[in-house]
Structure 1
Amino acid sequence: MIAYISTLSPVMQALLATLFTWGMTALGASLVFTTKTVNQKLMDGMLGSAGGIMIAASFWSLLSPAIEMSKEGPFPVWFPAAAGFLLGGFFLWIADKIIPHMHPSSHTNQTEGINPKGKRRSTLLVFAITLHNIPEGLAVGVAFGAVAAGLDSASLTAAVALAIGIGIQNLPEGAAVAMPLRREGMSRRKSFFYGQFSGMVEPIAAIIGVLAVSFMSPILPFALAFAAGAMIFVVVEEVIPGSQEYGNGDLATVCLMIGFTIMMILDVAFG
């Protein structure tokens, strides 16, 4: 598979990778066709593992290569990773304050962003997960862009491993949108549509990411760290609190550690 992917352009590589991650979101949303509810312990465990995968990917697939690339640049080695990381978190914080949305675990009156009142719950849920999928798509895009730039610290297998890890953690995200809508009486078809729709932004963000670093390779360390900062913001602000909310904190923590280990193995073994 790697041999075939290596023959494609960076844009096509990133597009195929994020079509896979979008497909995994759709797979999670498709649970609405088999059941109206998902065991809460299972959901919290899946969210915990998703958090672990995102944390591990943020370091091994993004921050570590950013630091390695910075050794050849004009800035202090630590600067691109530190600046990009903080900017990524700040970008998500600003977007969180502006875009009207509602987290899957929130009650109806717990909406965020500018003028969320009057918007349908389904729309607010999709906006929330879509907002959180932007850094994941960017991460995949800049990872393939780093490979295209020919940097020693980047490899095609590591970029593929990152896409696989993000795809795994997209499973509970699709279910986290679709299942609450189904429980509230929305049809299975509509619940599935809204659940999978949240993953559509990843291919778009990936293409933006790979094109940006292809034409402006000096920003690559900043771009990698930016994606890492945005992902860590999502994990701390939404994924971990959501996994702990229903009293399954120990299970979610263990699953987070397992998810972290899986992503670390994927990146180190194939990177």
Structure 2
Amino acid sequence: MFDFHSIMPIFLSLFAGLSTVIGAFIVFFSKSGSKKLITFALSFSAGVMITISFTDLFPTAEETLSKNFGKFDGVLLALLFLIIGTLIAFLIDHFIPSEESKQLIDKNNTNLYRVGFVTMIALMLHNFPEGIATYVSGYQSTTLGISIALAIALHNIPEGVSIAMPIYYSTRSKSKAFKYTFLSGIAEPVGAILAFLFLKPYINDFILSIVFGIVAGIMLYISFEELIPESRVYGFNLLYIFSLILGICIIPISHIFL
């Protein structure tokens, strides 16, 4: 039960989740450089997620489903699960309130603390299924798990900023900002541990193909709806396009060595 193949994905999700805390340290110790780092992390992560979706997740789902149901039905089912993943991400965005914390800071909003708290809850709900996806992917393939964990870790950094910034500026307490950021990030390995305890016996090629199709849809939605638009907000257009292309290229390059 406690073999490397089963435990390694938990550590990958722990790495991805706790990278959220890096965002808190950026708020504490960085001024001008943080915007460039956020631009790079968001854009690079988008490139990685888009590439993983189209070169690993969706093709794997399509291939497995086609073997079980035939080529035509397999492709349609893979697309269906991708669309379901996109809808899941859309519904999370639609029903969980979120606001641009930097705009609220500029307006000296008195509800800044509440915004930071709500952001933490929203990202906890977002990170929990990411932990499950990281575990399932890493259980199927360590290489794929590492790629997904890296992409999630990079976009968790600015998520940490979005929590720590309103909490820190409203309370001037580094400990509170760190605690709330940590709570958001730890939801990721919690999801992975629950997947290890309860889902592992049911993981097979068919279940993996469903999960991969759904995760691909979620990643594509996050990339095009959140990461890419947000990475362009700060005006570092050359850094944005360079980071995006680097993220797209890094996954095929990693296939050579992993």
Give the 3 Å change call, closer, same or farther, for CA 26–18 of structure 1 in structure 2: same
Q: What is the distance in 2 between the residues matched to 1:173 and 1:57?
A: 21
Following superposition, the deviation at residue 72 of structure 1 comes to: 1.8
**1:89 Cα deviation from its structure 2 partner:** 0.9
Alpha carbons 2:38, 2:157 under 8 Å: kept: no
Q: Which residue matches 2:39?
A: 44
**Distance change (3 Å), C-alpha of 1:263 and 1:67:** same
Change in 2 beyond 3 A, CA 1:214/1:220: farther
Q: How does 1:156-171 map to 2 (within 5 A)?
A: 156-171=142-157
Q: Which residue of 2 aligns with 1:30?
A: 25
Mapped to 1, the partners of 2:33 and 2:168 lie a distance apart of 11
Q: Does 1:8 align with 2:4?
A: yes
Which SS does the other structure have where 1:48 is aligned? helix
The Cα of 1:215 is off from its aligned counterpart by 1.1
Structure 2: 5+ residue stretches without partners: 106-110
Does 2:128 correspond to 1:98? no
Counterparts of 1:226 and 1:106 in 2: how far apart (Å)? 32
Q: For 2:28 and 2:162, how far apart are their aligned partners in 1? A: 14
- The residue number in structure 2 matching 1:225 is 213
Identify if the C-alpha distance between structure 1 residues 70 and 232 changes in structure 2 by more than 3 Å, giving closer, same or farther. Answer: same
Q: CA deviation at 1:21?
A: 1.0
Q: How far apart in 2 are the matches of 1:38 and 1:195?
A: 20
Supply the distance in 2 between the matched residues of 1:40 and 1:157 (Cα, whole angstroms). 30
Using the aligned pairs only, state the percent identity: 29
Letter in 2 for 1:202: E
Structure 1 residues 227 and 209: CA distance shift in structure 2, 3 A: farther
Superposed, which structure 2 residues align to 1:172-183 within 5 Å?
Answer: 172-183=158-169
TM-fit CA distance, 1:166? 2.7
For the residue of structure 2 that corresponds to 1:200, the secondary structure is helix
Q: Distance in 2 between matches of 1:132 and 1:265?
A: 29
Which of the residues 238, 242, 245 maps onto 2:233?
245
Residue 251 of structure 1: how far off its partner (Å): 2.2
> Per the alignment, do residues 15 and 215 of structure 1 end up closer, same or farther by CA in structure 2, a change over 3 Å counting?
same
Give the Cα separation in 1 of the matches to 2:77 and 2:123: 28
In the alignment, which residue of structure 1 is the partner of 2:108? Answer: none
5+ long unaligned stretches in structure 1? 1-5, 109-116, 148-154
CA gap of 1:161–1:245, structure 2 versus 1, over 3 A, is: closer
The structure-2 alpha-carbon separation of the partners of 1:8 and 1:53, relative to structure 1 and needing over 3 Å to count, comes to same
More divergent stretch after superposition (203-212 vs 76-85): 203-212
Distance in 2 of aligned mates of 1:55 and 1:247: 22
Does structure 2 retain, via aligned residues, the 8 Å contact 1:101–1:127? Answer: no
Structure 1 Cα separation of the partners of residues 257 and 100 of structure 2: 34
Equivalent residues, number? 249
Contact 1:157 1:270 (C-alpha < 8 Å) held by counterparts: no
**Which letter maps to 2:179?**
F
SS of equivalent residue, structure 1 residue 100: coil
TM-score scaled by structure 1? Answer: 0.77
Q: Indicate if the aligned counterparts of 2:17 and 2:127 stay in contact, CA closer than 8 A.
A: no
Alignment of 1:264 with 2:247, yes or no, is no
SS in structure 2 of the partner of residue 102 of structure 1:
coil
**Are 2:44 and 2:247, in contact at CA under 8 Å, matched by a contact in 1?**
yes
CA distance in 2 between partners of 1:213 and 1:89 (Å): 24
More helix per residue: 2
Residues 61 and 143, structure 1, Cα contact 8 Å, conserved in 2: no
The one-character-per-residue Cα deviations of 1:31-85 (angstroms, maximum 9, x if unpaired) are 3442356442332222211211222222333212212222321252212320111
Question: Which amino acid in 1 is paired with 2:50?
Answer: I
What's the offset of the Cα at 1:242? 1.0
Q: TM-score, normalised by structure 2?
A: 0.81
Calculate the aligned-residue CA RMSD, in Å. 3.0
CA distance in 1, matches of 2:195, 2:214: 11
Shift of 1:224: 0.7
Task: Select the residue among 143, 155, 178 that pairs with 1:192.
Answer: 178
Equivalent position of 2:50 in the other structure? 55
**One-letter code of the match for 1:205?**
G
Q: Distance in 2 between matches of 1:60 and 1:125?
A: 32
1:111 is matched with which residue? Answer: none
Structure 1 position 130 matched with structure 2 position 124: yes
